[in-house]
Structure 1
Amino acid sequence: MHAIVTGHSRGLGAAIAQCLLARGLTVLGLSRHGNPALAERFATGLSEVSLDLSDPSSLCAALHTTPLKTFLAADGPALLINNAGMLQPVARLGTQDAAAIVRAGQLNFIAPLLLANAFAATGRLERERRIVHVSSGAARSAYAGWSIYGAGKAGLDHHARAVAAEQHPWLRICSLAPGVIDTDMQAEVRASDPADFPQRARFDALKRDALLTPAAIAAERLVDYLLSDAFGRETVADLRQLA
């Protein structure tokens, strides 16, 4: 079995890639920067493509070139974990940077849709495909200052619902919120200006009270679910509730 993991260079994506590799899967990591530690530890299991997923022209070109094209068409069951994402712009409507809106929309929403489409195109009964969109609680609860981030994640939720309604016999999909993970993104949240993000104090408290889930633990739970028979029964789910 092989898997594609976006944003594998750090945070939850790195933890997911490591978990998959440790279980013997072949992994293709897509991110702007590689993961030297994983590449050294799993020299035969990990392939990497340096790719800016926020650049649609680069991603579209990569879909038709080696090694991504070859990896997509490989025989046997395969997994796609759309993990890469960005929080910015954290700002109220009317003060958001236009270029930041475009970049976030491409990375958080358009790139997962492009990858899912190319990934599904290679599936058939003998080539089962499983897709995970890494979603967020922000897709299901509105936070002032996070309109761009929340909208992108909510879009992934609805994409999963629509794809599931198509009833592909060889495809399972879930938009899965992993919980509040102790990653660089959480540090970015805690660095937000409360004027732009009024909920900052809540996230400060989660860190102070040691209530953030370590990335390695969240990754193990996510991979357990992804590889289980239960995967795909719910098209929009929260990992904490499944656990």
Structure 2
Amino acid sequence: MKHLTLLTGASRGMGLSMARQLLSAGHTVLCISRTSVPELDAHARHVGATVLQWAHDLADSGSLNGKLEGWLKDSQAEAPWASATLINNAGVIPQIAPLSEIAADDLARALRVGLEAPMQVTAAFLRATEGWKAPRKVLNISSGLGRKAMASQAAYCAAKAGMDHFTRSLALDEALKPQGAKVCSLAPGVIDTGMQEQLRAAPAEAFPDKASFVGLKTGGSLTSPDDAAARIIAFLARPDFGANPVADVRD
């Protein structure tokens, strides 16, 4: 049985942890990130899995569509997959400041990577796999900030809120199809990643909630990337995955 997982933002943090944990015998993981990680190639060989690493900047997600659709169709023609899963994990935080102070290019990049790319990649994935008999899943990694506004985080909050709502709409689309994909936008909890470091390092005058994020670190309230990845993968395997299109891993 061959299982396929597509994962964006797999080169560091929780994404890298997910990639490692998804690589097991009989599994193929296609990682889409700005950079490749040699460690994943070595790990895949060790466990008897297959990893493919595509270096692509998701700020230009539209140019990826044709390549992704073609690869999916060709791979299915060679030998049908037992399952196919897309995990949209990539995201960026622009300059931590009020919206009026963020450079236009920085703002555009945050929205392209955080919202446009998940929609573009999901559309390409669903188009290419529409006729597959194998079960298909789409997991969008969201955030509590998509459900609770925060000062100096307008772009990130907007991208994650948009991700939640496009997932709700997508779930309605797929429910009308005979073999529609199961979809969910999942908040993974607070995780000790580079994004947390960015928030803790922001100037206090630009980020009113800085002290809260420093407190999460000093109080030991952050989940490790490995533990967070394990909880997400376990959630993905739940028999009721997709029953609630917007969820929290802590539910």
* TM-score, normalization by structure 1: 0.92
User: Residue 154 of structure 1 corresponds to which residue in structure 2?
Assistant: 161
Query: Alignment identity in percent?
Result: 38
Does residue 110 of the first structure (1) align with residue 112 of the second (2)? Answer: no
Unpaired runs of 5+ residues, structure 2, are none
Alignment of 1:221-240 (within 5 A): 221-240=231-250
1:82 to 68, 88, 94: 88
How big is the shift at 1:68?
5.9
How big is the shift at 1:70?
3.9
Contact kept in structure 1, 2:21 and 2:230, CA below 8 Å: yes
Does residue 220 of the first structure (1) align with residue 226 of the second (2)? Answer: no
How big is the shift at 1:29?
0.4
Closer/same/farther in 2, CA of residues 174 and 23 from structure 1, 3 Å limit: farther
Contact kept in structure 2, 1:62 and 1:69, CA below 8 Å: no
Contact kept in structure 2, 1:54 and 1:111, CA below 8 Å: yes
Closer/same/farther in 2, CA of residues 214 and 72 from structure 1, 3 Å limit: farther
User: Residue 94 of structure 1 corresponds to which residue in structure 2?
Assistant: 100
User: Residue 27 of structure 2 corresponds to which residue in structure 1?
Assistant: 25
Alignment of 1:1-243 (within 5 A): 1-22=3-24, 24-43=26-45, 44-63=49-68, 67=71, 70=74, 75-76=80-81, 77-121=83-127, 122-124=129-131, 126-166=133-173, 167=175, 168=177, 169-241=179-251
* TM-score, normalization by structure 2: 0.90
Paired residues in the alignment total 240
Deviations 1:21-66 (A, max 9, x none): 136421000001111111111134111101011123532453355x
Contact kept in structure 2, 1:104 and 1:148, CA below 8 Å: yes
Contact kept in structure 1, 2:68 and 2:125, CA below 8 Å: no
| Aligned residue identity for 1:33 | T
| Aligned residue identity for 1:3 | T
